Amino acid sequence: MSKKSKIFLSGVVEGFYGRPWTMTQRKELFSREQKWGLNTYLYAPKDDYKHRMYWRDLYSLEEADQLMTLISAAEEHHVEFIYALSPGLDITFSNPKEVAALKRKLSQVCEFGCRSFALLFDDIETEMCAADKEAFSSFAEAQVSVTNEVFRHLEEPEIFLFCPTDYCAAFCTPSVPLSSYLNTVGEKLNPAIDILWTGPKVVSNHISVASIEEVSSVLRRPPVIWDNIHANDYDPQRVFLGPFKNRPTELIPKLRGVLTNPNCEFEPNFVAVHTLATWCKSVSGQKDVSMDVEDQGSDYNPHEALQLALTDWLVEFGQADQPDGSRSRGSRSTRDASEEEPMQTDGYVPGPKDNPLYTAEPLTLSDLTLLSELFYLPYEHGPTALRMLQELHWLRSNSDAATFSTTATESEKVREWRQRAERFDDMCGAVVRMFNRLSNAPNRIILYDLYDYICDIKSGVTMARAFIKTLGGLTPHPAMIINDDPEPWGFRGGLSGEFQRMLPCHGNRDLFRSPPATRVYTIRPYTPKDQSEVLKLFNEMQSESQQKVELVGDRLVEGRVTPSQNCSVILEDVSGVCGYVFALTDAKTAVTEAQYPKTVLQDYPSVIAIQIRPNVPDPTAVKRLIAHVMSSLRDSGSSGVFCEFRCNDRRMLDFLKTLNLFQVLQVHGLPTDLVIMATKL
Ligand code: GDL
């Protein structure tokens, strides 16, 4: 460990892909950091030309001027400005000219008044070029050798950071302790250089003390966490407004620092940075650090930290900041709403029979809490969002109770359905009202940074609201009706959305809703060896439903009709085959149009047979099994699929309803003991 007494580095790394922050935003960040007690800013915007792509290029006079101003602004706010270069896209480590270019560039930044530096080797090709392979025995050796040399050239700055290529446990092969890359870095990188680490994964849900102890021992120094918990550069539909969370404060004495790499949009990071600051100040993290006990806060509670951040943020929303940089202080919303004068002045006063002027309702702390819960954290929705998902799920699964009732128990269920539908509608209403108040807030800068997201969630809940109305037998607004020809907001997400729906991981959203599986399952293609077990399961379940009507599925399972390619899949647990799905892309080859009306086969050209043992407790596993076959059907061009059940096969019918993959189809002219479920693909 270095001889120097080291302060805990806390603050922000501007290390995301996409549009870098402006100089004004960075200065605002320094001011906030100082106010909240954070001390570091790492300059590493991935898509800034001269940080990564053209790392060799020196700064022009004008750029130099801007950087100098920025560096002095950081100093004024007592924030350590660390300048990083990412040369890994194309550097030849063994070429002295390249090392000279690195030194020249960093020396130039040194002249701007910068004292702290970093070299970053994240997200690059790990294969060395021929020249480097001749000169170095490994990639780690190449990076370490150049980094050590540049460090010496800069006269060993007090703060110098290195980001390894394997910067999280998931990237280490075969494991953190056995990674030869990390071991070389740990052994050979100058011990006064600190190392960045993102935790178990690139975006780590939890970072445990044990995991940090493990990596520290390999790196031979405590790491600086580069925390991607609030980063959103990988998904344009998400922004993270939840609190810094799932990092025990006991980590603090075991780390060299924590820098958060947050959302690309500057303003929404108010919560990320504020809550990180609260975390850094918490008592258990500081008990090993010498400081006055009097000054210590209480231990960190993410919920409380969030409320503190949102309370301060609410004040910011009231400042009439405009994108052109102007601000009129003491603006409307900071005054009592009742004293507000309308904004549209110019002497216009509506007459007694005219339309009154539009007056904005002021934003509230509950609005901001709701906003944060809707856009919480990468692995977790906030409590309200979770409740909305669960309610929508319940309403969908129990939609048969929405419109009819014959017995007393059924009408009880109808009442429950209606009550819950109303509550769901209220929750959606709260989101829309929050959207309205937010979009009327005086601070247009914060609003514009959030706009796409709040607009997206408003449309999302509006669609869900309309869907529940339809289930309940009401008619939603025509623009919201989901039929065969919906408006484009009825099928959101563009091409990327299409891809996503085809991938098996699409069902991962269930992580937020369903408990984790209780057993280990295998989902695999059917082979002829499975035939006897499959038939056994088929016959057992057949006798359970004791009905004579013949299903297409029977013929598929018994091998009288051959399933289409990639359309026969087995679910297996420790006790053997516990489920199967067989499908036929073109159902017409197995049923006649005399059996099925033409329109059914047009809308749902494929047929699927599903059987699951009653003792399988994990719906998610079954969903994946079915999703697998549906994805094959979709790949072969099918636009819809139906499955047949005997009407007394209540168990399978109820089970499938809970999965919410199919709707019951009303088809006239079919045998009455047949139930058809179907879905579009
Ligand atoms: C990364 C990148 C980072 C990016 C983040 C989230 C590191 C060290 N590098 O892997 O630039 O913003 O993921 O997408 O985290």
Q: What is the DSSP string of 84-106?
A: EE--TTT--TT-HHHHHHHHHHH
Residue 100 has which token pair? 């000279």
318-328+360-518 has CATH 1.20.58.240 classification: yes
Domain 4-298 classification at class level: alpha beta
Nearest CA to ligand 1 atom 3: 16
Nearest CA to ligand 1 atom 10: 202
Question: Could you give the CA distance from residue 527 to residue 645 in angstroms, rounded to a whole number?
Answer: 25
16 in contact with ligand 1, CB cutoff 6 A: yes
Which residue shows structure tokens 């970072």? 207
Sequence-ordered alpha helix ranges (H) in 154-222: 180-188, 209-219
Q: How far is CA 583 from the centre of its chain?
A: 33
Query: Mutation test of ligand 1: which of 172, 202, 238 has the most ligand atoms closer than 8 Å to its C-beta?
Result: 202
**DSSP label at residue 380:** B
263 in contact with ligand 1, CB cutoff 6 A: no
Residue 258 has which token pair? 């924590």
Give the type of residue at 259: L
94 in contact with ligand 1, CB cutoff 6 A: no
User: Pairing between strand 522-525 and 568-573?
Assistant: antiparallel
Q: Is 123 a catalytic residue?
A: yes
Question: Could you give the CA distance from residue 626 to residue 526 in angstroms, rounded to a whole number?
Answer: 13
Residue 199, CA distances (Å) to 44, 196, 204, 206, 567 in order: 19, 9, 6, 8, 40
Range(s) within the chain of domains with CATH label 3.20.20.80: 4-298
Integer-rounded Cα radius of gyration of the chain: 30
- Helix (H, G, I), strand (E, B), or coil: what is residue 447? helix
Q: Give, for 135, the enclosing helix (H) or strand (E).
A: helix 130-135
- Specify whether the CB–CB gap between 626 and 610 falls below 8 A: yes
Range(s) within the chain of domains with CATH label 1.20.58.240: 318-328+360-518
**DSSP label at residue 338:** G
Beta strands in 417-463, from DSSP E residues, in sequence order: none
Question: Which ligand 1 atom lies nearest to the CA of residue 203?
Answer: 6
Low-confidence ranges of the chain (pLDDT < 50): 1-3, 288-297, 329-342, 508, 511
**DSSP label at residue 40:** E
Question: Could you give the CA distance from residue 538 to residue 572 in angstroms, rounded to a whole number?
Answer: 15
Range(s) within the chain of domains with CATH label 3.40.630.30: 522-680
Question: Could you give the CA distance from residue 456 to residue 238 in angstroms, rounded to a whole number?
Answer: 10
- Helix (H, G, I), strand (E, B), or coil: what is residue 612? strand
Contacts of 319 (CB under 8 A, 6+ apart): 327, 329, 331, 334, 442, 443
Question: What are the tens digits of pLDDT across the range 615-639?
Answer: 887 888 899 899 889 988 988 889 9
Question: Which ligand 1 atom lies nearest to the CA of residue 196?
Answer: 8
Nearest CA to ligand 1 atom 7: 122
Q: What distance, in Å, lies between the first and last C-alpha atoms of the chain?
A: 59
CA torsion angle 454 385 482 608 (round to 10): 140
Closest CA to 568 of 554, 557, 558, 552: 557
- β-strand partners of 259: 11, 226
522-680 has CATH 3.40.120.10 classification: no
Measured at the alpha carbon of residue 100, what is the angle toward residues 109 and 145, in degrees to the nearest 5?
100
Q: What is the DSSP string of 466-513?
A: HHHHHHTT----GGG--SSS--GGGS-SHHHHHHHHHSGGGGGGGGGT
Q: Measure 235 CA to ligand 1 centroid, in angstroms.
A: 12
Q: Note the pLDDT of residue 365.
A: 98
Question: Which ligand 1 atom lies nearest to the CA of residue 167?
Answer: 8
- Specify whether the CB–CB gap between 205 and 233 falls below 8 A: no
202 in contact with ligand 1, CB cutoff 6 A: yes
267: alpha, beta or left, given left = phi > 0 and alpha = psi -120 to 50? alpha
163 in contact with ligand 1, CB cutoff 6 A: yes
Give the Cβ contact number of residue 602 at 10 Å: 10
Of these residues, 47, 123, 425, 510, which one is catalytic? 123
Query: Mutation test of ligand 1: which of 161, 172, 233 has the most ligand atoms closer than 8 Å to its C-beta?
Result: 233
Contacts of 5 (CB under 8 A, 6+ apart): none
Give the type of residue at 186: G
Q: Note the pLDDT of residue 474.
A: 81
Question: Could you give the CA distance from residue 350 to residue 354 in angstroms, rounded to a whole number?
Answer: 5
165 in contact with ligand 1, CB cutoff 6 A: no
Q: Measure 15 CA to ligand 1 centroid, in angstroms.
A: 7
Q: Burial, 344: exposed, middle or buried (Cβ in 10 Å; 0-12, 13-18, 19+)?
A: exposed
**DSSP label at residue 164:** -
Give the Cβ contact number of residue 642 at 10 Å: 23
Q: Note the pLDDT of residue 2.
A: 44
| Maximum Cα interatomic distance, the chain, rounded to a whole number of Å | 88
Q: Note the pLDDT of residue 513.
A: 52
Question: What are the tens digits of pLDDT across the range 130-184?
Answer: 999 999 999 999 999 999 999 999 999 999 999 999 999 999 999 999 999 999 9
Q: Burial, 339: exposed, middle or buried (Cβ in 10 Å; 0-12, 13-18, 19+)?
A: exposed
226 in contact with ligand 1, CB cutoff 6 A: yes
Nearest CA to ligand 1 atom 13: 202
Give the type of residue at 353: K
Residue 396 has which token pair? 């969908």
- Helix (H, G, I), strand (E, B), or coil: what is residue 565? coil
Residue 12 has which token pair? 């922000």
Contacts of 295 (CB under 8 A, 6+ apart): none
Question: Which ligand 1 atom lies nearest to the CA of residue 234?
Answer: 14
Closest CA to 267 of 15, 62, 26, 52: 26
Q: What is the pTM of this model?
A: 0.75
491 in contact with ligand 1, CB cutoff 6 A: no
Q: How far is CA 507 from the centre of its chain?
A: 14
637: alpha, beta or left, given left = phi > 0 and alpha = psi -120 to 50? left
Q: Note the pLDDT of residue 114.
A: 98
Q: Note the pLDDT of residue 432.
A: 97
Measured at the alpha carbon of residue 51, what is the angle toward residues 50 and 55, in degrees to the nearest 5?
60
CA torsion angle 305 310 312 317 (round to 10): 160
The size of the chain, in residues, is: 681
Question: Could you give the CA distance from residue 142 to residue 144 in angstroms, rounded to a whole number?
Answer: 6
Q: Note the pLDDT of residue 572.
A: 93
- Specify whether the CB–CB gap between 449 and 266 falls below 8 A: yes
Q: Measure 202 CA to ligand 1 centroid, in angstroms.
A: 7
